Chains A and B, each alone.
Chain A
Amino acid sequence: MLLQQIITGISIGGIYALLATGYSLIYSLLDFSNWSHGEFAMVGAYVAIVFSNILGTPFVIAAVMGVLGGACISFLSERVVYRRIRSTGGPNMFLMIGAMGMSNVFQQAANLIFTGQYRSYSFKLPVSTIEVGGAYIGVLDLISLGITAVILVVLIYLINKTKFGLNVRAIACNQKAARVLGIRVDQSIATVFLLAGSLAGAAGILYGMKYNVFPTMGNVGLKAFIASVIGGLGSVPGAIVGAVLLGVLETLVSAYISSSLRDFFSFALLIVLLLVKPSGLFGVDVQEKA
């Protein structure tokens, strides 16, 4: 029973992680929390609905289109909204307000186009379970977990082992210096939005498979945001650990205490952590010596 809950928790945590890493990446580059990030997941989920339920394409194509949908909407937000706000040199608060506005626009648009109806993918989802040492583990959870793990490993590789990742980390440290030294700052930021958006798209589809697809499903972004704060805002490994912790905590609370107290515990964990270790689990700050 416990093993079963923990695996389910890790699987949900994986979905949070796909979103939380996006919050962290964008926060590390631009110092603001992208409140419309959850809506990128919603857009991805709906694009996949359109392809699978309306156009009747096979699942793989619908999923790929959903991921691309998330990437596109994220990239467009950066080009059309965030870059413009940045170029005015205003405070970062403007970016956050812009993000909140967009979040609302996307939700309303989804409501208009698709109505508030809860939808599920028309392809057959694996509902079976496999037995491991007396525990029954959902095949869907395992698939979700596998996909998430692969995506996150690729992401960590990109950030830590490639020239692109090095440039992103340099921009996160010191954007002005990065520009003077010849890093294509705007191009790198746009690429990060593409990357974060495609992860969000994947998260949206996995979330939609596990639960449903609906206009306000992007609110799951709030959980991912909590996860990235727990891990230490701006840290990608922190976001992953925070997300898994949160997913497991929520599942255990739902199973052993009460599912109506799930969110209470999530926020309580956030508040306790902010009081005890405000920089988050992985928020080790290496300060520049003046």
Chain B
Amino acid sequence: MSAILKIDNLKAAYGGIHALRGVSLQVEEGEIVSVLGANGAGKSTLLKCISAVMKRTDGTIEFMGKPIPSKPHEIVEAGLVQVPEARQIFAKLTVMENLRVGVGNRKDVEGIKRDYERVFTMFPRLKEREKQYGGLLSGGEQQMLAIARGIMANPKLMMFDEPSLGLAPVIVTQMFEIIKEINDEGCSILLVEQNANKALQISDHAYIMQTGEVVRYGTGAELLADDTLSAAYLGN
């Protein structure tokens, strides 16, 4: 196995406040890796830096063995897609148009057709509502749309920022099953979550962050078995 994403000594700051203080982590090809931590640990900042919508002040990021491109659209085209926090679907575009935005600049007509079929099989609700405005979908449906939109870019690595946020428990369970399913189909996953339990259950490896640093690392099973974890780092 080789690392699809390798981050070394990543630093970033908002104004003078250090949000990331030298984070190193990696995702092996085919893995699900979780980054856990309480609010303010720097998890979302980490994803923003990887997607290049925020500038890092130091450190290196390698994607598929090469330095990651510097522009957000080049990163998406290289095969790294983020499903952003709070879904961020396009409210005034229809479900179908949201998916078309996800397709981006892909030219492989056959592959695009296959991926439409794939997301509609995965989320039949979206097929039923393909002509509706994204803003009129329920929270769970919007999360499905955000994931489907990401899949349409044909990623090699998908990053999820708090996919369970604000969803009913039964939908949360469904979301994690879907993430597992996407992984089983060959896409590597980097998952940022506050819902540590659910995330660890599907993770190969996990990192725990606190105030901008990685403080623990282990396999999903190891960390799941560690009772001291949630009290110490996750703030619950």
Contact = CB atoms under 8 A, between A and B. Distances in A.
B135 A181 contact: no
B152 to A, nearest CB: 9
B74 to A, nearest CB: 8
Contacts of A288: 89, 91, 134-135
A181 B135 CA distance: 18
Contact of A286 (B51, B102, B136, B139): B136
A182 B53 CA distance: 10
B236 interface: no
A183 B139 contact: no
Q: How many A residues touch the partner, as a band?
A: 20 to 34
B37 interface: no
A177 B133 CA distance: 16
Given A166-B100, A174-B88, A181 B138 contact: no
A287 interface: yes
B84 interface: yes
Contacts of A170: 90, 93, 97, 101
B72 A179 contact: yes
Nearest to B90: A173
B206 interface: no
Contact of A183 (B73, B82, B93, B138): B73
Contact of B77 (A177, A179, A182): A182
Nearest to B71: A184
Interface in B44-99: 51, 53, 72-73, 75-77, 81-82, 84, 88-93, 97
Given A174-B90, A286-B133, A289-B138, A180 B104 contact: no
Given A182-B153, A287-B91, 15 more contacts: A166-B100, A170-B97, A174-B89, A178-B90, A181-B82, A181-B104, A182-B77, A182-B104, A183-B73, A183-B101, A184-B73, A286-B92, A286-B136, A288-B89, A289-B135
